[in-house]
Chains A and B, each alone.
Chain A
Amino acid sequence: MARAASPRRKAITTLAAWSVGLLIFFPILWTMLTSFKTEATAIADPPVFLFFDWTLENYSVVQERSDYMRFLWNSIIIAGGSTILGIIVAVPAAWAMAFVPGRRTKDILLWMLSTKMLPAVGVLYPMYLIFIQMGLLDTRIGLTIVLMLVNLPIIVWMLYTYFKEIPGEILEAARMDGATLKEEILYVLTPMAIPGIASTLLLNVILAWNEAFWTLNLTAAKAAPLTAFIASYSSPEGLFYAKLSAASTMAIAPILILGWFSQKQLVRGLTFGAVK
């Protein structure tokens, strides 16, 4: 229900919203600011906020020391590949659960989601051994598969929710119109679920991009994505905050830009079905 808000109330709410927003954004902002400082200013006490000598030195040092583009490329392949692979597996799975549910469909969905509750480190050892055995260690294909599996429950769950919103009669109409199962999914279900599928894609690219546990543990040099790029700047002999910040900024910039331009889609996707 809409309630008329007094100007005072509105001002307080706005202020509160901005505070929370800033609080959440602050670490990212601080990282970005730090990346433009010298190492000395970066650890200055009290900390300097805006008034310092801005420098791009960290970025050139980082680029010199490690090949940013190689990590970026790995990230793109792993995040994009795992998402596309996941969608290919998840669309038929979600179709089956949404439109031909069995007695245990809900249980299967919950069970799938429950795998997300398992601490990843619990299966690190067996996974590592499997990867060695199969020669997948430090390969893009290996990481793509692992990240696909890690995010698959979320992809299936999200798609299931979107598909549930599509009236079954439309799919039945397609069946009556002579569409085979493949044509029904390809020409009717998928185009109708495009907004949902787009949000799922987007969210999963973000999740895969940011995934740090498996990407750090299963790669060394060849397949290492941007998460490893950041981690390589936290060295045991002491941290170089400014350089670390520069590396972090470079790592998160692509996904931040993607998120910024697709925020409308993302919000719509995440609240899809919540409001009719």
Chain B
Amino acid sequence: MGRITLDKVVKRFGDVEVIPPLDLTIEDGEFTVFVGPSGCGKSTLLRLIAGLEDVTDGQIRIDGNDATDIPPAKRGLAMVFQSYALYPHMSVRKNIAFPMRMAGIPEDEQKRRIDAAAKALNLTDYLERRPGQLSGGQRQRVAIGRAIVREPAAFLFDEPLSNLDAALRVGMRMEISELHAKLKTTMIYVTHDQVEAMTMADKIVVLRAGYVEQVGSPLELYRAPRNVFVAGFIGSPKMNLIDGAEAAKHDCKTIGVRPEHIAISDSDGQWTGRVGVSEHLGSDTFFHIHDTGLAETITVRADGEVGFRHGDTVYLTPREDSIHRFDEQGLRIA
């Protein structure tokens, strides 16, 4: 079981309020991702749940029990750190065994769990090595192994893939998702990478300056961002946000159109502009269009076969049913 409830949780460092009163419930078995720009308080929030930071005010409950003043060791949560935080003086086997040793689990049971974890994480051949002799991806797997064997109520991941290279990151993303599918344990995952958030989460919590901007499934956030910030943060490339006359036509302060919801043509369309930089991904091409009179740049996603060149004049047409409208406060107009 691992239902985690935050009840008006506040964190202050001296006079600085990092987390204003915050309510949040993470359901048992859910994969929740905290996402936001750096300094938004997402790591602090995770550390509060872990117990590595003291809550200034409010209550944290794990499975209904008040855990606010319980030390991290007793909360039954496991954490995977960005820097892996392996014990450099212990072999992989001893690293994985450490939490079980602390819990006083019998040796034969320890061995059984280590072997199972090593098999699941492809670490069987490396059990006698030291962390220093492993690659980044292997180290991260050891850290995950160390977390698994505890059979925790919930896993906490603090930007676990940030130190890995791009190819490895995609692979590890899948592995963590598969692990969640298999274990069905609550997982809380902190990242600044919205692609990780979108691909892995059951539920995304978007944070900015300690405030929860929106909570929802990846597609809810993508389809109906609650405000301009979420609209701009979720989705890659970013949503085009347009102010002024064009927005006024739709009776609002700002309109947002995603790059994939704009048609590009060389003959006719609603807006006119000139092609700037093109990013060719093969399957898709992103065109950055200038001189539209709408915003500095309008990003358009087109099929990989579409071949406009730098300086070409193009015509753009947004999909009318995919225009997001926001009011003066930046809030979504339904």
Question: Contact between B52 and A175 (Cβ–Cβ < 8 Å)?
Answer: yes
**Which residue of chain B has the shortest Cβ distance to A176 in the bound complex?**
B79
Contact A169:B99 (CB < 8 A) given known A175-B52, A177-B150: no
Cα-based distance from A179 to B97 in the complex (angstroms)? 12
Question: Contact between B73 and A176 (Cβ–Cβ < 8 Å)?
Answer: yes
Q: Indicate the size class of the contact surface on chain B.
A: 20 to 34
**Which residue of chain A has the shortest Cβ distance to B104 in the bound complex?**
A178
Q: Which residues of B contact A177 (CB under 8 A)?
A: 73, 78, 98-99, 102, 146, 150
Q: Which residues of A contact B306 (CB under 8 A)?
A: none
**A180 at the B interface (CB under 8 A):** yes
Cβ proximity bits B29-60 to A, threshold 8 Å, 1 near / 0 not: 00000000000000000000011100000000
Q: Which residues of B contact A175 (CB under 8 A)?
A: 51-52, 71-73
Contact A178:B99 (CB < 8 A) given known A172-B52, A173-B79: yes
Q: Which residues of A contact B103 (CB under 8 A)?
A: 178
Shortest C-beta distance, A3 to chain B (Å), equals: 31
* A positions within 8 Å CB-CB of B: 167, 169-170, 172-180, 183, 187-188, 191-192, 194
Q: Could you pull out 18 A-B pairs where Cβ atoms are within 8 angstroms?
A: A169-B82, A170-B87, A170-B88, A172-B79, A172-B81, A174-B98, A175-B71, A175-B73, A176-B52, A176-B72, A177-B73, A177-B146, A178-B74, A179-B73, A179-B102, A180-B73, A187-B98, A191-B89
Cβ proximity bits B76-107 to A, threshold 8 Å, 1 near / 0 not: 01110111011111000000001100110000
Contact A192:B87 (CB < 8 A) given known A175-B73, A176-B77, A177-B146: yes
Cα-based distance from A178 to B78 in the complex (angstroms)? 9
Question: Contact between A178 and B89 (Cβ–Cβ < 8 Å)?
Answer: no
**Which residue of chain B has the shortest Cβ distance to A194 in the bound complex?**
B89
- Of the residues A169, A174, A187, A194, contact of B83 by C-beta under 8 Å: A169
Q: Which residues of A contact B89 (CB under 8 A)?
A: 191-192, 194
Cα-based distance from A174 to B150 in the complex (angstroms)? 13
Known: A173-B146, A177-B102, A180-B73. 16 other contacts (CB 8 A): A167-B83, A169-B85, A172-B85, A173-B86, A176-B72, A176-B77, A177-B73, A177-B78, A178-B102, A178-B150, A179-B73, A180-B102, A183-B102, A188-B87, A192-B88, A192-B89
- Of the residues A173, A180, A187, contact of B85 by C-beta under 8 Å: A173
Cα-based distance from A77 to B124 in the complex (angstroms)? 48
Q: Which residues of A contact B77 (CB under 8 A)?
A: 176
**Which residue of chain B has the shortest Cβ distance to A169 in the bound complex?**
B85
Question: Contact between B85 and A178 (Cβ–Cβ < 8 Å)?
Answer: no
Cα-based distance from A180 to B104 in the complex (angstroms)? 13
Cα-based distance from A180 to B72 in the complex (angstroms)? 10
Question: Contact between B83 and A176 (Cβ–Cβ < 8 Å)?
Answer: no
Q: Which residues of B contact A191 (CB under 8 A)?
A: 87, 89
Cα-based distance from A179 to B98 in the complex (angstroms)? 9
Question: Contact between A170 and B73 (Cβ–Cβ < 8 Å)?
Answer: no
- Of the residues B50, B82, B86, B87, contact of A176 by C-beta under 8 Å: B50
Q: Which residues of B contact A174 (CB under 8 A)?
A: 87, 98
Q: Which residues of B contact A176 (CB under 8 A)?
A: 50, 52, 72-73, 77-79, 99
Q: Which residues of B contact A178 (CB under 8 A)?
A: 73-74, 99, 102-103, 150
Q: Which residues of A contact B98 (CB under 8 A)?
A: 174, 177, 179, 187
**Which residue of chain A has the shortest Cβ distance to B14 in the bound complex?**
A103
Cβ proximity bits B128-168 to A, threshold 8 Å, 1 near / 0 not: 00000000000000000010001000000000000000000
Shortest C-beta distance, A197 to chain B (Å), equals: 13
